[in-house]
Structure 1
Amino acid sequence: MSTLNEPKLISGNANLPLAQSIARRMSIHRGRKINLCDARIERFNDQEIFVEVYENVRNEDMFIIQPTSCPANDNLMELLIMADALRRSSAARITAVIPYFGYARQDRRTKARTPITAKLVANMLVEAGIERVLTLDLHATQIQGFFDIPVDNLYASPIFALDVQTQFAGSLDDVMVVSPDVGGVARARELAKRINAPLSIVDKRREKPGEVAEMTVIGNVEGKKCIIVDDMCDTAGTLCKGAEILMEHGASEVHAYISHGVLSGPAVERITNSVMKSLVITDSIQPTPEVLATPNIRILPTAPMFAQAILNTWNGTSVSSLFETNTLEPIYEGQFKV
């Protein structure tokens, strides 16, 4: 724990609005102003990254808030360089708060002569001086084992459950949770248990990455309000095709709850023209103006959860308590009216 009174936050450029929201939430909890650490993070003409911290951080408990989203390499390097700057400035402990952990999809060797880049990134973070990682909905939970330091993986499903109970109040009996593939069943089952809903699966077969060759629905979705649950949505091709398949099998409407809205390339256009009534994402990745302007995309805030998780880490109290609805609901202060 820090020898001084408050945890100190510093943010890169990847998602400054989220970092500012976390600081505001922590200020409310602590009853005193908590600001982001005064620093400059800029680039030379050749795009080299330079970091300078203007505040004393000696013996401080530092939290770097930086998702490694697009541009993934730039944001990852910012995180590593900030960590190095803090370590060389005698910070007592450095925690990386990574709302979206980039390269997580490369968590295993699927073919010969391919890398396990998630492990490489884990090694780089530890070598840079980071002593703890706080993240949200890792693509694969085994990535926690790639680190030789503590990793706290928060889950979006408790927030999603509160939102579903609010949005579908009075018609929860008609709701069915859908996993978009066999690999995501555990994530979908977690939400289904929280809202006491049945579970279905869309089995997909890929010819190559980004292209789906065939989809089959496992389970009866006829007349159901289907909620597709996944950890990330990139180009939205699989998601939109899955929604079409569910409608063809008799679903009354389709919604999606996705932890990380990567939403690259044609994603926004596909979602706008999709049969989905709504796509709900978190703000783990800073939304683009196009995403904000899309009427059927809604964004849930993660700042209350991350602010509490940072305070619990700083205080040395339980982070897993945030997985429980009765702990999380008061943090959101009536946003979800169940």
Structure 2
Amino acid sequence: MIVLNNHTIITEQFPNKETKIKDFDSYILEGNLLEFTYQEDGDLIKLLFVKKRLDQDQVNCKLVINYMPYSRMDRKIYGDLFTLQYICAFINDLNFEKVYVIEPHSAKTIELLHNSEAIYPALDWLPAIMDQMQFTDQDRIVFPDKGAAARYENAGYANSCIFDKTRHPQTGRIENMLLKRGDIPQGAKCIIVDDLCSAGGTFLWAGQILKQMGASEVYLLVTHCEPRVLSGKLLNQDSPINKVYTSTSMMHETHSKIEYITINLENYV
């Protein structure tokens, strides 16, 4: 989905699967902000068409990427292409005035994108969630791995914990998970913080360990959540996760255990 100055660009498809985009003359004069929500690869060609149309009117606009596609392929892995590098090159060639990426998976995205800046809304949401849960010194912020700790650890929150996980090199499945730093007091409320949830295996595993160590409630705060989570076990009634807080950058489906938080772009752009 592409939104130009708060107006959703209307896209259709010809019988032969080619993309048709309705013109948007009247929206161009109202500002210069383009919001891009990736759902499939075809959305990238839509972004190309929209930017080329803006170039015709010499509109130099800013781009907000709600979720950076291919951001997990952020390095060269034997046997696979370094696809993030190519997607960033594609966006660079479109020559946006500025590119904002909401919660990139790693610093590599910002390194590869020209004139780019990362936005971390989870850091703004977390204090309000802690207040809502009446956090005390006995409660804990939990980072499920070193990557999450690197993104959020310097936000100034005391009493945080860090897990270390080991994945199988071929399948990517988690083989082991240990609490490497911090402690979990009996009865503690815990908020796991990360950028992305897919099926939820990492957080299910972490939640089970936290409950075994004495946590009374476990919550998950992720900026991006894939619809795949609905088919996993993370949202089951017997799951250790009480609730998931997330944005609508990747999904909109309702569920009793999901609470959506709005990203107010005016605070960042």
Could you state the TM-score of these two structures normalised by the residue count of structure 1?
0.71
Residue 97 in 1 paired to residue 58 in 2? no
Could you tell me whether the CA contact under 8 Å between 2:123 and 2:152 is conserved in 1?
A: no
Q: Distance in 2 between matches of 1:58 and 1:230?
A: 36
What does residue 198 of structure 1 align with? 159
Question: Counterparts of 1:253 and 1:165 in 2: how far apart (Å)?
Answer: 13
Whether 1:181 and 2:145 are equivalent positions in the alignment is yes
> Of 93, 96, 108, which residue of structure 2 is paired with 1:130?
96
**Corresponding residue of 1:75:** 43
Gapped regions of structure 1 (runs ≥ 5)? 1-10, 13-18, 24-35, 311-338
Answer yes or no: is the 8 Å Cα contact 1:84–1:129 preserved in 2: no
Which residue in 2 is equivalent to 1:62?
Answer: 32
Question: Following TM superposition, by how much is the alpha carbon of 1:159 offset from its aligned partner in structure 2, in angstroms?
Answer: 2.3
Q: Structure 1 104/162 Cα, relative in aligned 2: closer, same or farther at 3 Å?
A: same
SS at match of 2:223: strand
Partners of 2:50 and 2:110 lie apart in 1 by: 22
Q: Specify whether residues 83 and 173 from structure 1 end up closer, same or farther in structure 2 by C-alpha distance, changes over 3 A only.
A: same
Distance 1:226 1:49, change over 3 A: same
Q: CA deviation at 1:277?
A: 1.1
Query: SS of the counterpart of 2:74?
Result: coil
Q: d(CA) in 2 for partners of 1:265 and 1:167?
A: 24
| In structure 1, distance between residues paired with 2:143 and 2:231 | 19
Tell me how far apart the structure 2 counterparts of residues 287 and 40 of structure 1 sit (CA, whole Å): 19
Q: Is 1:309–2:260 an aligned residue pair?
A: no
Against the structure 1 CA distance between its residues 40 and 106, is the aligned structure 2 distance closer, same or farther, given a 3 Å change threshold? same
The answer to whether the 8 A contact 1:66-1:98 is kept is yes
Deviation at 1:66, TM superposition (A): 1.3
8 Å CA contact 1:184–1:230 kept in 2: the answer is: yes
1:226: how far off? 1.5
How does 1:95-244 map onto structure 2 within 5 Å?
95-109=62-76, 111-147=77-113, 149-169=114-134, 171-191=135-155, 193=156, 196-207=157-168, 208-218=170-180, 219-223=182-186, 224-244=188-208
Query: Residue 300 of structure 1 is aligned with which of 255, 261, 266?
Result: 261
User: Percent same amino acid at aligned positions?
Assistant: 22
Change (3 A) 1:308 1:250: closer
- Determine which structure has greater relative contact order: mean sequence separation of CA pairs < 8 Å that are 6+ residues apart, divided by chain length: 1
1:85 aligns with 2:48: no
> When the two structures are aligned, how many residues end up with a matched partner?
265
Q: How far has the Cα of 1:65 moved from its partner?
A: 1.1
State the SS of the aligned residue for 1:213.
strand
Q: Which amino acid aligns with 2:35?
A: I
2:131 aligned counterpart, secondary structure: helix
RMSD, aligned CA: 2.4
Structure 1: distance between partners of 2:17 and 2:79: 30
Cα distance in 1, alignment partners of residues 30 and 83 from structure 2: 31
1:61: Cα distance to partner? 5.1
Cα distance in 1, alignment partners of residues 108 and 13 from structure 2:
34
How many angstroms apart in 2 are the aligned matches of 1:75 and 1:58? 20
TM-score (normalizing by structure 2): 0.88
* Aligned residues of 1:108 and 1:116 also touching (Cα < 8 A): yes
The unaligned stretches of length 5 or more in structure 2 are none
Q: Is the 8 A contact 1:175 1:197 kept in 2?
A: no
What is the alpha-carbon distance in structure 1 between the residues aligned to residue 65 and residue 59 of structure 2? 19
Q: 1:257 to 1:267 in 2, by over 3 A?
A: farther
